[in-house]
Amino acid sequence: MYDQLLYGIEAAINGLMTGVMYSLVALGFVLIFKASGIFNYAQGVMALFAALTLVGIQSGQVPFAHLINALFGTKVHHFGWTLPAVAAILLTIGVMILFAWLVERYLLKHLVNQEPIILFMATIGLAYFMEGVGDLMWGAEIKKIDLPIPQGINETIDSLTYDWFGYGFYIDNLDITASIIAIFLVISLTIFSQYSTTGRALRAVADDHQAALSVGISLRSIWVIVWGLAGFIALVAGVMWGAKSGVQSSLSLITLKALPVLMLGGFTSIPGAIIGGMIIGMGEKVFEFVVSSSWFGDAMGFTMNATENWFAYVLALIFLVFRPQGLFGEKIIERV
């Protein structure tokens, strides 16, 4: 039983950190939703696109190589250089800002004052459009993130826990890194939005569009900033998830992992996205651990596997029933 308890704690810690990775994706949703009321379905694809772009730029791939070769009969694939990681990251951030500007200029601008459902549909369209563009630009094969991110078992924790409990916990360095980065991101975002002029403008726009306009804030430039920030967060999420499971089109499915996090944490709360992610991640792993264990089997007469696919949604649904606005969401009171 003591063993089982230790395995359970290990699963919980790992779940917690996987949850932080979900939060990274959810964070991008929250930013855009707060500022513009748009549920951006494309957030997952943005993560994929950002990761593809990073790998492509870093390895010196020629963008749209297949297209260029087909059109002009050339055989270009690589520029023949590899860029240092920092340069590639900065360039990718530049691309994501350009992307934000393009989205505002060619999509959002034409959809001002439309129903939320129309905007939602537009982001679904955007998601698949981007997936296509990503393919065309960088090719569809699975790619590897080539950044100096620590990966594999953390020896220190392993040996420490072995000394203490007689059982070494398996905690992945990647998860630890991702957690630290996510926490750092949240803290800096919070400070930025609390104390800077632009941060105040972001909160103002999130609160009341008309009033924001009346004090001289341009909604359009705020949207570019918000989409740019969401693009940056997508890059971080894309890199972390990409390092975990390779950069491939299934990466965009992390959207589906972020959804229950948002249902639980509330669509408008940055801390909600983090706490929500942790609860979902931990709940998922612990539940799976319990229902697939042999003692659960002995007691109940059956065991369950692969509960990770649905558990998050069930948990989120239960939360929805009791707290529709989410854990930290603002309660909406309609005056009659």
Partner 1 sequence: MSDGYVTPDGRTIGGKVLEMRNITLRFGGVVAIKDISFDIREGEIRAIIGPNGAGKSSMLNVINGFYHPQEGEILFHGEVRKPMKPFQIAQQGVARTFQNIALFKGMSTLDNIMTGRFTHMKTNIFSQMIWKGPAEREEQENREIVEKVIDFLEIQAIRKTPVGALPYGLQKRVELGRALAAQPKLLLLDEPMAGMNVEEKEDMSRFILDVNDEFGTTITLIEHDMGVVMDISDRVVVMDYGKKIGDGTPDEVRNNQDVIDAYLGVDHG
Indicate if the alpha-carbon torsion angle 156, 157, 158, 162 is positive or negative: positive
Q: Which single residue is written with the structure tokens 């800077």?
A: 196
Q: Which residue has the tokens 């696919």?
A: 309
Q: Taking CB under 8 A as the rule, does residue 93 contact partner 1?
A: no
Rank residues 205 and 286 by Cβ distance to partner 1 and give the closer one: 205
| 309 contacts partner 1 (rule: CB under 8 A) | no
Stretch that binds partner 1, among 62-70, 206-214, 299-307, 313-321 (CB under 8 A): 206-214
Instruction: Tell whether residue 330 is a contact of partner 1 (CB under 8 A).
Output: yes
Per DSSP, the residues of 182-232 read HHHHHHHHHHHHHHSHHHHHHHHHHH-HHHHHHTT--HHHHHHHHHHHHHH
Q: Which residues contact 234 (CB under 8 A, 6 or more apart)?
A: 25, 28, 43, 46, 47, 49, 50, 96
Q: How far is the CB of 178 from partner 1 (least distance, A)?
A: 22
Could you tell me which residues come within 8 angstroms of residue 102 by beta carbon, excluding any fewer than 6 positions away? none
Q: 243 with 145: CB under 8 angstroms?
A: yes
| Nearer CB in complex with partner 1: 97/327 | 97
Q: Pick one of 78, 207, 295, 324: the residue that binds partner 1 (CB under 8 A).
A: 207
Closest CB 210 distance from partner 1, rounded Å: 5
The residue whose two tokens read 């129903």 is 115
Question: What crossing angle do the helices spanning 43-58 and 219-245 adopt, rounded to 10°?
Answer: 70
State yes or no: residue 84 binds partner 1 (CB under 8 A). no
Contact call for residue 219 and partner 1 (CB under 8 A): yes
Interface of this chain with partner 1, residues 176 to 195, rule: CB under 8 A: 192, 195
Q: Fill in the amino acid letter for 333.
A: I
| Burial track 77-87 (b if 16+ CB lie within 10 A, e otherwise) | eeeeeebeeee
The yes or no reply on residue 208 touching partner 1 (CB under 8 A) is yes
Residues 6+ apart with CB under 8 A from 95: 50, 53, 57
203 touching partner 1, by CB under 8 A: yes
Q: Which of 70, 102, 211, 314 binds partner 1 (CB under 8 A)?
A: 211
Binding status of residue 214 toward partner 1 by CB under 8 A: yes
The CA distance from 231 to 97, in Å, is 7
State the number of binding residues for partner 1 (CB under 8 A): 25
Rule CB under 8 A: choose which of 25, 52, 103, 212 binds partner 1.
212
The answer to whether 198 contacts partner 1 (rule: CB under 8 A) is: yes
User: Shortest gap between Cβ of 194 and partner 1 (angstroms)?
Assistant: 9
Question: Which position among 82, 196, 245, 250 is part of the footprint of partner 1 (CB under 8 A)?
Answer: 196
**How many CB atoms are closer than 10 A to CB 186?**
18
Q: From residue 266 to residue 305, what is the string marking binding to partner 1 with x (rule CB under 8 A)?
A: ----------------------------------------
User: Any contact of residue 201 with partner 1 (CB under 8 A)?
Assistant: yes
Tell me the closest approach of the beta carbon of residue 195 to partner 1, in angstroms: 8
Q: Minimum Å distance from CB 225 to partner 1? A: 6
Q: Three-state DSSP class for 103?
A: helix
Please select the residue that binds partner 1; options are 67, 98, 102, 213, rule is CB under 8 A.
213
The nearer residue to partner 1, 93 or 136, going by C-beta atoms, is: 93
* CA quadruple 36, 39, 22, 324: dihedral sign: positive
Interface residues with partner 1 (CB under 8 A)?
192, 195-201, 203-204, 206-208, 210-219, 225, 330
